[in-house]
């Protein structure tokens, strides 16, 4: 986008939207608006500056951390730049909605938000200031909220389908927004920041952060060998230990110590060749924060340096959670909590105990699908462009947003919230659709549908024909960019390719002598030499086809 002159950086993570970029953004906004309206959501606009007291009321003033940009006004009252609007909308709704008869209702807005990201990058993909569509639904109870959620889910499907994007809706972790369940909408692109999996035979799809792993049936009747303590000098990594002892890494158990940041520690056990999913661990413990324990902390709680940790012979009482796969393991290798020592033939129950079994590992490509018998998981990279949440009563309770039901009893409102990163979606569309010459915009969000290039601006015949075509197309409601710059043809072609206009009509003196112009389709590279009127018809037909969508 930077190269194509669509945006320009003003400060770290903060961008100017140039005319071309803005056109694309507006295009997408309008698609979002149409589909939201169609799904019975009502547009409104909330301020980007929000009072601290609302955030204190919901408890997120302290919870949200540093990416909430805070500041004081002249009276020293605290404010923040809104990173999201749950508090504001809930505050509004608790004043306005009093009766079950006022629901269901869904409000949305397209607003600039600000999150003071630690590390903004990739242009609009992860800016600090960004445009977002957010919607909030309010319902009388959980099942009504599910209906609202489904409506939004399907509206989102339509939105991204209309943009011609290759995407997946996946189950996701709810992060700091909270709530009971959520789906993310992921545009598939190799440069995506998120890893997602989908089943090759059923409809299961999830973010790797969330994706469930299915352990194999526990193998019974394995002869338990007697446990042995063995010297493993300087063997810290699982691969080293396994190689040294001559076993596969999947016969080893690795132990990791994590800290809540507020004095709590936990030991997590995983099969040696598996990877810990910190989010699963965090959620299973109900912690707000999680980080790996430091070398000193590990020494303190286990009495051993890292690299030789295990569940046997811990120095202090430590809560031990184990991945589900641990259940099925026997005669395993594990650290002895002593420098340069490991146990072999360690067995659950006999040699060590586990406080809780939880799904802790990251799934991998090829894993069995957690939902169906036949399926295997495939892995993709994706860019998160939309996210829908069932919030339940998290905010309505905190801010006491209630209504009176048919019996006149006070009830808590059930909420849902639904976001789409506007700028990010446009950026993701480009990420998914480009080649070495530049952007290949899907027509519905391209800044223009078609361009008209006059090869030689000094040739009055060419200019007249080009202008005529331009005017005729405009009259047909097609968005046309007229490139009448006095530049060499090569320059104009390159620029057209770069900014990704889907269709291009080239008017040159040679073709014009035969009454023909050229229509080029950016996506396929297809070139058609047609008489002027046919070319116009062709463009109109292609544009209509691309904009068509189910009502």
For RNA, the binding residues (CB under 7 A) are 9, 11-13, 65, 67, 115, 117-122, 124, 126-128, 130, 132, 175-177, 184, 193, 278, 290-291, 384-387, 419-421, 423-424, 437, 455-458, 486-491, 493-495, 497-498, 506-511, 517-518, 520, 527
Q: In angstroms, give the least distance from the CB of 397 to RNA.
A: 20
Nearer to RNA, 77 or 529 (CB): 529
Nearer to RNA, 359 or 497 (CB): 497
Q: In angstroms, give the least distance from the CB of 134 to RNA.
A: 8
d(CA 374, CA 395): 40
Residues 6+ apart with CB under 8 A from 391: 86, 177, 178, 179, 180, 414, 415, 416, 417
d(CA 35, CA 159): 7
Determine the 3-state secondary structure of 125 from DSSP: helix
Q: In angstroms, give the least distance from the CB of 468 to RNA.
A: 15
Q: In angstroms, give the least distance from the CB of 66 to RNA.
A: 8
Nearer to RNA, 227 or 290 (CB): 290
Determine the 3-state secondary structure of 352 from DSSP: strand
Q: In angstroms, give the least distance from the CB of 219 to RNA.
A: 34
Residues 6+ apart with CB under 8 A from 227: 343, 344, 345, 346, 347, 350, 351
How would you class 459 by CB atoms within 10 Å of its CB: exposed for 0-12, middle for 13-18, buried for 19 or more? middle
Q: In angstroms, give the least distance from the CB of 340 to RNA.
A: 28
Nearer to RNA, 234 or 514 (CB): 514
Residues 6+ apart with CB under 8 A from 254: 238, 269, 270, 271, 272, 309, 334, 335
d(CA 211, CA 274): 14
Whether the CB-CB separation of 485 and 479 falls below 8 Å is answered with no
Nearer to RNA, 117 or 364 (CB): 117
**DSSP-based helix, strand, coil % in the chain, nearest 5:** 30, 30, 35
Q: In angstroms, give the least distance from the CB of 23 to RNA.
A: 19
Nearer to RNA, 374 or 527 (CB): 527
Q: In angstroms, give the least distance from the CB of 375 to RNA.
A: 27
The full 3-state SS of 407-441, as one line of letters, equals: CCCEEECEEEEEEEEHHHHHHHHHHHCEECCEECC
- Rg over alpha carbons for the chain, rounded to the nearest Å, is 29
Determine the 3-state secondary structure of 90 from DSSP: helix
Nearer to RNA, 240 or 435 (CB): 435
How would you class 334 by CB atoms within 10 Å of its CB: exposed for 0-12, middle for 13-18, buried for 19 or more? buried
Q: In angstroms, give the least distance from the CB of 376 to RNA.
A: 26
Nearer to RNA, 134 or 139 (CB): 134
Nearer to RNA, 317 or 458 (CB): 458
Q: In angstroms, give the least distance from the CB of 363 to RNA.
A: 17
Nearer to RNA, 11 or 219 (CB): 11
Tokens found for residue 427? 């950026």
């Amino acid at each position: 986008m930077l190269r194509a002159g669509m945006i320009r950086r003003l400060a770290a993570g903060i961008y100017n939207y140039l005319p071309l970029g803005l056109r694309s953004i507006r295009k997408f906004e309008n698609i979002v608006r149409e589909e939201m309206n169609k799904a019975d959501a009502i547009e409104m606009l909330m301020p980007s500056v929000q009072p601290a007291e609302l955030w204190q009321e919901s408890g997120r003033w302290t919870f949200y951390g540093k990416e909430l940009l805070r500041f004081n006004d002249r009276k020293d009252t605290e404010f923040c730049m809104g990173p999201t609007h749950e508090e504001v909308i809930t505050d509004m709704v608790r004043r306005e909605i009093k009766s079950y008869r006022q629901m269901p209702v869904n409000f949305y807005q397209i607003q600039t938000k600000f999150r003071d990201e630690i590390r903004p990058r990739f242009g609009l993909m992860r800016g600090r200031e960004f445009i977002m569509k957010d919607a909030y639904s309010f319902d009388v109870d959980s099942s009504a909220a599910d209906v609202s959620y489904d409506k939004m889910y399907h509206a989102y499907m339509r939105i991204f389908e209309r943009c011609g994007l290759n995407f997946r809706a996946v189950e996701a972790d709810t992060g700091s927004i909270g709530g009971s369940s959520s789906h993310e909408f992921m545009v598939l692109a190799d440069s995506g920041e998120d890893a997602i999996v989908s089943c090759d035979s059923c409809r299961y799809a999830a973010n790797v952060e969330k994706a469930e792993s299915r352990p194999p049936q526990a193998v019974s009747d394995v002869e338990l060998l007697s446990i042995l303590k063995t010297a493993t000098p300087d063997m810290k990594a699982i691969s080293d230990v396994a190689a040294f002892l001559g076993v596969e890494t999947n016969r080893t158990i690795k132990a990791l110590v994590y800290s809540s940041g507020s004095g709590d520690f936990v030991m997590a056990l995983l099969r040696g060749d598996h990877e810990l999913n910190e989010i699963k661990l965090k959620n299973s413990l109900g912690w707000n924060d999680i980080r790996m324990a430091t070398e000193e902390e590990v020494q303190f709680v286990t009495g051993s340096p890292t690299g030789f940790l295990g569940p046997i012979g811990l120095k202090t009482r430590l809560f031990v959670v184990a991945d589900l796969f641990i259940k099925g393991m026997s005669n395993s290798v594990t650290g002895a909590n002593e420098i340069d020592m490991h146990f072999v033939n360690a067995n659950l129950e006999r040699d060590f105990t586990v406080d809780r079994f939880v799904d802790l590992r990251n799934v991998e490509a090829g894993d069995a699908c957690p939902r169906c018998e036949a399926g295997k998981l495939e892995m993709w990279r994706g860019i998160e462009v939309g996210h829908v949440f069932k919030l339940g009563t998290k905010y309505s309770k905190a801010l006491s947003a209630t209504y009176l039901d048919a019996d006149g009893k006070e009830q808590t409102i059930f909420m849902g919230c639904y976001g789409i990163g506007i700028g990010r979606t446009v950026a993701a569309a480009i990420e998914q659709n480009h080649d070495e010459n530049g952007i290949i915009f899907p027509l519905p969000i391209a800044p223009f549908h078609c361009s008209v290039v006059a090869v030689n601006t000094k040739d009055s015949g060419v200019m007249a024909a080009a202008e005529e075509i331009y005017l005729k197309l405009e009259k047909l409601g097609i968005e046309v960019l007229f490139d009448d710059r006095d530049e060499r043809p090569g320059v104009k072609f390159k620029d057209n390719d770069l900014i990704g206009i889907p269709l291009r009509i080239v008017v040159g003196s040679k073709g014009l002598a035969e009454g023909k112009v050229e229509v080029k389709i950016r996506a396929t590279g297809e070139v058609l030499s047609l008489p002027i009127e046919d070319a116009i018809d062709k463009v109109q037909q292609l544009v209509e086809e691309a904009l068509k969508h189910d009502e």
